[in-house]
Amino acid sequence: MPSQASESKSSKHWRLESDLDGISWLYIDRDDEKVNSLGTEVLSELEQIITQLENDQPTGLVLMSGKSRNFIVGADVREFDATDKVSELEDNVRKVHGLFQRIEDLAFPTVVAFEGYCLGGGLELSLCFDWRIALDADHTRVGFPEVNLGIYPGFGGSGRSIRAMGGLQAMQIMLTGKMLRARAARGLGLIDQTVDRHGSLRWAARNAVLKKKRSSKPPLKSRLTTLGPVRKFLAGQMRKQVRGKARPEHYPAPYELIDAFEASGNSQATMIRLEAEKVPRLLAGDTSRNLRRVFRLMESLKEQGKRSDFKARRVHVIGAGVMGGDIAAWCASRGLEVTLQDREMKYIEPALKRAGSLFKRRLKKPEAIAAAKLRLRADVEGAGVKRADVVIEAIFENRDAKRELFSNLAKDLQPSALVATNTSAIPLDELSDVFEDPSRLIGLHFFNPVAKMPLVEIVYGKDTNTDRVNDGSSFATQIGKYALPVTSTPGFLVNRVLAPYMRNAMQMHREGVPKEALDKAAEQFGMPMGPVELADTVGLDVGLGVIDTLMGEDAGEDRKILESMVESGKLGKKSGEGFYRWKKGKPQRDAKAHEGHDLEALAEKLMQPYFDECRACLDDQVVKDADLLDAGMIFGTGFAPFRGGPMHYLESRAAQGGTADQEEQS
């Protein structure tokens, strides 16, 4: 251990200790907050501390966290909305730049040693230090998530990360917002050293100070990526990659970063200077403002999962089809013991095979993959029901079949077990009355593909036990999903909104609009995929079931078309053909089919039923408020995040007094 502290000085958010070796130990511990973030007051206090250290000239400085398992999650996002004046934002950024440069220029060894999240501004601060040490633990993550807020690193991170890693690696980290584990960050040069035990952080930090360790330059191959001709080529490739995921008019931040890299990626000072010009403009823009709103909506969904202390150990899933099998695999990947039931082993085997692929993608390490496979077990006889904390029904969408299953299941359930249906649209009260206590049944409505879709609707009826709803929300949070409580109206929220939207697309297609034009119009509006591709991806058999539940015979010709396609085996992506033919998981399109169509006008017409149904859901109190509706539609349907949610979009459009077309052109 380092020598005992001989002196300690505290401010509101920082604690500074000096040990007998003359090393200063600085701890960030934001007052009255669960996590550390770099707010204005926090940075102001840090500036005073740096002035003191410049005067004292200690043997060295070590920065650590005063909070267990947590370092710095970034800048304080709550303060981003304090002003939209670009000049004020520029002054704020330049002030931080000055402070961080003073830290980098300190005349004695500086070391940062952390565990937990080191993100955004926290990583930018760390890059000012001579040596960076991280605990190699599952809860340690390193990265630049700023692109998800419509900006890019603005506290000097763009220039300093390129110095640490080289141009290509640094740009990939900043453009993707990807969070890295400690070892991966060390391999790239973001981190200089990893340790395996918490106690080792202090030892390693002390040794690094005394040995005056400094980060080495990245390998020559990495440094070459900052040369002029190479930068120009790489910038072109980066724009192509980004354009495949985000349009510049919708998400300008990554393109601004690429422009800065192409112009000045060989100069740390110039990259940092460009931050002060570009990032404030991005912060004041509509995209960043709306993405910050999405961030707050995401936090509100996380709060839904904190209403109870429910924690599951064992999950039993009935139905090994695509949804049931993937729900089971996801739960196993999150550390739960899972039993998967179906009529015969031949129905379970494909699900186990898909699960193996998921484990490889998510868990990476052979021992973790093997452990997950052991946690997921086939259970044709349904023996796991009696021991399960959570039982999820995920059989085909048929009311009578589900009722019969629950009736047979009731006698084997633990009294405390959470019992849920994954129905896409059937109201709970049409299923729950088979139980002696109907109030215990809830809906846990997952979305396809389970591994990618972050939302789970927690469905409740007028008689549902509130504690069960809260437990369901906690379970969704436990397995890494966002919990959205919704009332048990037909279709709940997401499918109720999607059904008229998809039906509208089918009608427009029958009236002669090419499916490619419909999909391209929706994507141009900002949807992650068009309605026709979405129908194929979800499965036309699933879509038919939803339409039957929500519209019945009123669906008319659209239902007949779907029924005919399903009967002929055209189920969409999973069968290789639906509205599109599918090859290697991708729809085969006519690249010129959309030509000659006004895509903006198409988008306006296409989206209208979507918006109308959102308003109707709010009027019917399917969710508590407009914010939760916006959250549900963003995370459940992929509604364009840069627009801030459908209700927010409609409100903004009304305030501007224009149509969607006019707004796009403004």
Backbone angles phi, psi at 187, to 5 degrees: -60, -30
Q: Find the mean pLDDT for residues 579-587.
A: 91
In 3-state terms, what secondary structure has residue 529? Answer: coil
User: CA-CA distance, 642 to 294, in Å (whole number)?
Assistant: 8
- The whole-number pLDDT of residue 553 equals 66
Residue 227 one-letter amino acid: L
Which DSSP letter does residue 395 get? -
Residue 325 burial (C-beta neighbours within 10 Å; 0-12, 13-18, 19+): buried
User: CA-CA distance, 484 to 625, in Å (whole number)?
Assistant: 11
Q: Find the mean pLDDT for residues 21-41.
A: 95
- Answer yes or no: 457 catalytic: yes
Task: At 461, list the tokens.
Answer: 């009826």
Please, what is the average pLDDT of the chain? Answer: 92
How sure is the predictor about 7, in pLDDT bands with cuts at 50, 70 and 90?
Answer: low
Q: What angle do CA 92, 93, 98 make, to 5 degrees?
A: 100
Q: Find the mean pLDDT for residues 89-116.
A: 97
- Structural element, H or E, at residue 7: strand 5-10
User: CA-CA distance, 61 to 46, in Å (whole number)?
Assistant: 13
CB 48 within 8 Å of CB 17: no
- Answer yes or no: 215 catalytic: no
User: CA-CA distance, 208 to 131, in Å (whole number)?
Assistant: 7
pLDDT of 180 above 90: yes
pLDDT of 283 above 70: yes
Q: For residue 132, how many C-alpha atoms fall within 13 Å in the half-sphere facing its CB?
A: 28
- The whole-number pLDDT of residue 661 equals 43
pLDDT of 540 above 60: yes
How sure is the predictor about 572, in pLDDT bands with cuts at 50, 70 and 90?
Answer: confident
Which DSSP letter does residue 572 get? B
Q: Which residue has the higher pLDDT, 647 or 660?
A: 647
User: CA-CA distance, 209 to 424, in Å (whole number)?
Assistant: 59
User: CA-CA distance, 28 to 160, in Å (whole number)?
Assistant: 22
Q: Which residue has the tokens 């001579």?
A: 130
* Active-site annotation holder among 115, 146, 275, 457: 457
How sure is the predictor about 360, in pLDDT bands with cuts at 50, 70 and 90?
Answer: very high
Please give the torsion angle defined by the CA atoms of residues 627, 628, 632 and 634, in that order, rounded to the nearest 10 degrees. Answer: 20
pLDDT of 339 above 50: yes
SS (H, E, C) 465-523: CHHHHHHHHHHHHHCCCEEEEEECCCCCCHHHHHHHHHHHHHHHHHCCCCHHHHHHHHH
Verdict on whether the full-model pTM lies above 0.85: yes
Q: Find the mean pLDDT for residues 10-35.
A: 94
Q: Find the mean pLDDT for residues 54-76.
A: 96
Q: Find the mean pLDDT for residues 65-89.
A: 94
Domains and CATH numbers, the chain: 5-284 (3.90.226.10), 309-490 (3.40.50.720), 495-621 (1.10.1040.50)
How sure is the predictor about 546, in pLDDT bands with cuts at 50, 70 and 90?
Answer: confident
How sure is the predictor about 8, in pLDDT bands with cuts at 50, 70 and 90?
Answer: low
Q: Find the mean pLDDT for residues 9-13.
A: 88
User: CA-CA distance, 475 to 485, in Å (whole number)?
Assistant: 13
Name 180's Cβ contacts closer than 8 Å, sequence gap at least 6.
Answer: 141, 142, 143, 173, 188, 190
* Active-site annotation holder among 424, 432, 473, 474: 424
Q: Which residue has the tokens 């992650």?
A: 528
Q: Kindly give the interhelix angle for 515-525 and 494-510, rounded to the nearest 10 degrees.
A: 140
User: CA-CA distance, 30 to 270, in Å (whole number)?
Assistant: 32
- The whole-number pLDDT of residue 624 equals 94
Residue 429 CA from chain centroid, whole number: 33
Residue 540 one-letter amino acid: L
Q: What is the pLDDT of residues 119-174, one digit of tens each?
A: 999 999 999 999 999 999 989 999 999 999 999 999 999 999 999 999 999 999 99
* Active-site annotation holder among 13, 445, 594, 648: 445
User: CA-CA distance, 68 to 71, in Å (whole number)?
Assistant: 8
User: CA-CA distance, 544 to 565, in Å (whole number)?
Assistant: 10
User: Where do runs of H (alpha helix) occur along 511-574?
Assistant: 515-525, 531-538, 540-550, 556-567
How sure is the predictor about 2, in pLDDT bands with cuts at 50, 70 and 90?
Answer: very low
pLDDT of 206 above 70: yes
CB 646 within 8 Å of CB 639: yes
User: CA-CA distance, 298 to 439, in Å (whole number)?
Assistant: 29
pLDDT of 262 above 60: yes
pLDDT of 659 above 60: no
User: CA-CA distance, 160 to 174, in Å (whole number)?
Assistant: 12
Q: Find the mean pLDDT for residues 366-381.
A: 96
- The whole-number pLDDT of residue 665 equals 38
CB 112 within 8 Å of CB 62: yes
- Distances in Å between the Cα of 28 and the Cα atoms of 42, 93, 190, 192, 225 are 9, 21, 20, 21, 35
How sure is the predictor about 662, in pLDDT bands with cuts at 50, 70 and 90?
Answer: very low
Nearest to 528 by CA among 581, 453, 478, 617: 453
Name 356's Cβ contacts closer than 8 Å, sequence gap at least 6.
Answer: 369, 373
- Answer yes or no: 495 catalytic: yes
User: CA-CA distance, 472 to 469, in Å (whole number)?
Assistant: 5
CB 313 within 8 Å of CB 336: yes
User: CA-CA distance, 526 to 646, in Å (whole number)?
Assistant: 12
Q: Find the mean pLDDT for residues 486-510.
A: 90
User: CA-CA distance, 622 to 629, in Å (whole number)?
Assistant: 8
How sure is the predictor about 614, in pLDDT bands with cuts at 50, 70 and 90?
Answer: very high
How sure is the predictor about 666, in pLDDT bands with cuts at 50, 70 and 90?
Answer: very low
* Residues written for the chain: 666
* Active-site annotation holder among 18, 495, 504, 516: 495
Percentage of the chain modeled with pLDDT above 70 = 96
